[in-house]
């Protein structure tokens, strides 16, 4: 609410040009169990790099600020790539990108490591768009925040 983001409401959450926040509800269909925050990789990192851009740092900062307010929230961070390049390179790159986000959350906000329960690189194994081409929507970092 206090961010400068211009979020547009979508079916199960909110979206901005380079960010989406999707609510996952429990079996009752009412209580939010998890938030999936997806940051567009083209905005977050230069091609082939794991260094966060200034825009990505700002987005991650907002996530960190929110998590500090909810000390019981736990995060799983996943890096994803498209299918261009070798799988081995993409596996390492996706993990480095996820670790960059983890590092930003911990170092900028002093978020306790205990709030981050998993950091993984998925390369191109969890595509949003099923293609072997360069697909921007597949290049992303997801922060899955459970609210249990």
pLDDT tens, 102-141? Answer: 999 999 878 999 999 999 999 999 998 999 988 888 889 9
- Supply the pTM of this predicted model: 0.86
Helix (H) or strand (E) segment spanning residue 113: none
Task: Measure the CA dihedral 70/65/59/109, to 10°.
Answer: -110
How far is residue 56's CA from residue 45's CA, in Å, rounded to a whole number?
8
The token pair that represents 22 in the structure block? 């999707």
pLDDT at 94: 96
**Which of 11-20, 34-43, 50-59 is least confident?**
11-20
Q: Which of 94, 80, 95 is nearest to 126 (CA)?
A: 80
Task: Tell me the pLDDT tens digit for each residue of 55-64.
Answer: 888 888 888 9
């Amino acid at each position: 609410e206090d961010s400068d983001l211009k979020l547009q409401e979508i079916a199960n959450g909110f979206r901005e040009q380079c960010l989406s926040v999707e609510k996952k509800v429990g079996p009752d269909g009412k209580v939010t169990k998890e938030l999936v925050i997806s940051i567009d990789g083209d905005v977050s990192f230069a091609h082939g790099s794991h260094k966060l851009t200034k825009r990505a740092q700002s987005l991650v900062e907002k996530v960190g600020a929110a998590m500090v307010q909810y000390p019981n929230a736990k995060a799983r961070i996943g890096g994803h790539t498209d299918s261009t390049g070798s799988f081995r390179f993409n596996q390492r790159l996706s993990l480095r990108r996820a670790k960059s986000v983890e590092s930003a959350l911990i170092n900028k906000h002093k978020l306790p490591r205990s709030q981050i329960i998993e950091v993984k690189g998925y390369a191109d194994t969890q595509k949003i768009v099923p293609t072997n081409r360069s697909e921007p929507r597949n290049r992303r970092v997801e922060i899955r925040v459970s609210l249990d």
